[in-house]
Structures are given as structure tokens and as C-alpha cells.
């Protein structure tokens, strides 16, 4: 009888500790997965990219992944900190690792299988492997329902924060991968990551479609403002007014909403 009572007490302790998790998420994709795993109430802080579901916007913010401070994270008294290893300042990672808090910096592969792998890692870190099975099944069902036929449209992604900050997305970026999954092709293939936008590069790329974040196009004053950017009006996309936008986190997050992102971008490219 004493062994049974002791075992029961241990179970209560284990589940009690799990119920008292205080999680800080430093990535929007991870935050979305935590919510899908039923852990939203245990999230005590998020970075600014954690915008979905909308209820996360009421959570305390620790900043953008490039300017997060260890002090800001630790002030929320987390028991678990999760982030992506390639997005956070190395010095921040080292600072957090020296604390008594459980800290995990996960890898993200920009692929369908990468989404499944990241989900498993988040579930393992939070003790929700059982729930993850159902979440992945739903993801797989949604993915199988998406049909993105190859259309070979040349799509140019422009990252904008006003006319003073405009970058062109090259190969290897999340948006580049999504364009391919959606049936299109990146209009720029001669460099990786991002480079400043120039009129010469725009004309040389001559895209069929210009793609921006919703917030990016808004920062330029809408399509009218974009068309005033040197070089835009000389492209096929500019001449035909083929400008499409999507929510930034949906377009670049490579998370559980990937099927939705593929379907939406495919329609907008072809439309």
C-alpha cells in the first residue's frame, strides 16, 4: 500500500511540474506549434514574430530575434526557453545556456519533412509527444488536399520596411522554398539570402509576379507606392500590376500552416 501511495505521489509531482511549465518562445513557428499542442496557457512570453494564433498578441513580448536580451527573457521566470539556433544572437544563446533554465535551440529544415521534425522536437521538449501524433496527422491531411501545379511563373520577393529599406530575396530563404512548393520559380537565382534592391536587378530579373509581406507593401504606400520604386514599372509584373501580398509569418514561417501557405500563394501566383 505504501508503494502505491508513493507511486501516486510521484505521478502527481511529475504532472504537477508539467502543468506548471512557464515557456518563453523565441520564434513564431515554435509558438504556433506550442499552441497546437495545447500549451498556450503555459506560454509566458513570446518574440514579435509570434502572431498566430491572434491570442498570442496579448502575451508579454521579449523583442525581435535579433535584439532579444537574456535579462528580458529571464525576467519572465521561464522553466523552458525554445528558439531556432540560426535566428538568435550567439551571445544570447551562451548567456541563456549558463542559467538554470532549460534552454533548447532547435534546427529548422525548410521542407515539409522539416515541419514534421520540428514538431517532434517541440513535443519532446514539452512532454506532449502523444498530442503531436494527432497534430501531425492533421497537418498531413491538409497537405494532401493541396494541389499546387507547376506554373513556372517568375516570382520576385521584396522585403520592404519603407522605401529606405528594400531587399530582394535570393535562393535558400523560406520564401524561396515556398515559391517552389507553390509551383513558381524564384526570379533571382544568382545569389543566396538577401541583397539590397536595385533598379538594375529588378529589370534584369523581369519577374512575372512581385511578392511582398502585407506589412511591406503597406509601408510603401500600397501598389501605387511600389510602382514608383525605380525599376518596378519596367518589369512585366509592374506593367501588368501583378503584385501579391501575404501575411509575413504565414509566408515565411514554414510551420503547421504550410499547407495553407502553399495553397494561398499558388492561387495568387496563377490568378
Question: What pLDDT, on the 0 to 100 scale, is given for residue 261?
Answer: 98
Pick 154-270's CATH classification: 3.60.15.10, 3.30.70.2740, 1.20.120.80, 3.40.50.1980: 3.40.50.1980
- pTM equals 0.89
Question: What pLDDT, on the 0 to 100 scale, is given for residue 194?
Answer: 96
Other Cβ atoms closer than 10 A to 108: 21
Question: What pLDDT, on the 0 to 100 scale, is given for residue 70?
Answer: 95
Contact (CB, 8 A) for 76 and 44: yes
Question: What pLDDT, on the 0 to 100 scale, is given for residue 187?
Answer: 97
Contacts of 171 (CB under 8 A, 6+ apart): 186, 188, 189, 191, 192, 193
Distance of alpha carbon 106 from alpha carbon 29, whole angstroms: 11
Contact (CB, 8 A) for 81 and 24: yes
Distance of alpha carbon 184 from alpha carbon 151, whole angstroms: 6
154-270 has the same fold as 7-144:
yes
Distance of alpha carbon 136 from alpha carbon 144, whole angstroms: 12
Domain ranges of the chain: 7-144, 154-270
Look at the alpha carbons of 94, 107, 251, 29 in this order and tell me if their dihedral is positive or negative: negative
The β-bridge relationship of strands 194-196 and 166-169 is antiparallel
Q: Tens digit of pLDDT per residue, the chain (271 long)?
A: 434 334 433 443 444 444 579 999 999 999 999 999 999 999 999 999 999 999 999 999 999 878 899 999 999 999 999 999 988 889 999 999 999 999 999 999 999 999 999 999 999 999 999 999 999 999 999 999 998 888 889 999 999 999 889 999 999 999 999 999 999 999 999 999 999 999 999 999 999 999 999 999 999 999 999 999 999 999 999 999 999 999 999 999 999 999 999 999 999 999 7
CATH for 7-144?
A: 3.40.50.1980
Nearest CA to 228 out of 202, 254, 248 is that of: 202
Spacing of C-alpha 184 from chain mean position: 20
Question: What pLDDT, on the 0 to 100 scale, is given for residue 15?
Answer: 47
Question: What pLDDT, on the 0 to 100 scale, is given for residue 19?
Answer: 54
Amino acid at each position: 500500500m505504501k508503494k502505491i501511495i508513493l507511486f501516486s505521489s510521484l505521478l502527481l509531482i511529475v504532472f504537477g511540474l508539467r502543468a506548471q511549465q512557464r515557456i518563453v518562445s523565441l520564434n513564431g513557428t515554435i509558438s504556433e506549434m506550442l499552441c497546437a499542442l495545447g500549451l498556450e496557457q503555459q506560454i509566458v512570453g513570446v518574440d514579435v514574430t509570434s502572431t498566430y494564433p491572434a491570442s498570442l498578441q496579448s502575451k508579454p513580448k521579449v523583442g525581435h530575434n535579433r535584439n532579444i536580451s537574456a535579462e528580458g527573457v529571464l525576467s519572465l521566470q521561464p522553466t523552458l526557453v525554445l528558439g531556432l539556433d540560426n535566428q538568435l544572437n550567439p551571445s544570447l544563446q551562451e548567456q541563456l545556456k549558463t542559467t538554470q533554465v532549460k534552454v533548447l535551440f532547435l534546427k529548422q529544415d525548410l521542407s515539409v519533412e522539416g515541419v514534421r521534425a520540428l514538431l517532434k522536437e517541440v513535443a519532446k521538449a514539452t512532454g506532449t509527444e502523444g498530442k503531436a501524433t494527432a497534430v501531425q496527422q492533421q497537418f498531413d491531411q491538409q497537405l494532401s488536399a493541396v494541389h499546387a501545379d507547376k506554373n513556372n511563373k517568375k516570382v520576385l520577393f521584396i522585403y520592404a520596411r519603407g522605401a529606405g529599406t528594400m531587399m530582394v530575396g535570393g535562393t535558400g530563404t523560406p520564401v524561396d522554398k515556398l515559391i517552389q512548393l507553390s509551383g513558381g520559380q524564384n526570379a533571382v537565382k544568382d545569389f543566396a539570402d538577401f541583397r539590397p534592391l536595385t533598379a538594375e536587378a529588378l529589370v534584369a530579373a523581369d519577374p512575372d509576379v512581385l511578392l511582398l509581406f502585407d506589412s511591406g507593401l503597406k509601408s510603401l504606400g500600397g501598389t501605387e507606392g511600389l510602382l514608383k520604386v525605380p525599376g518596378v514599372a519596367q518589369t512585366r509584373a509592374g506593367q501588368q500590376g501583378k503584385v501579391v501580398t501575404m501575411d509575413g509569418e504565414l509566408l515565411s514561417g514554414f510551420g503547421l500552416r504550410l499547407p495553407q501557405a502553399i495553397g494561398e500563394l499558388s492561387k495568387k501566383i496563377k490568378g
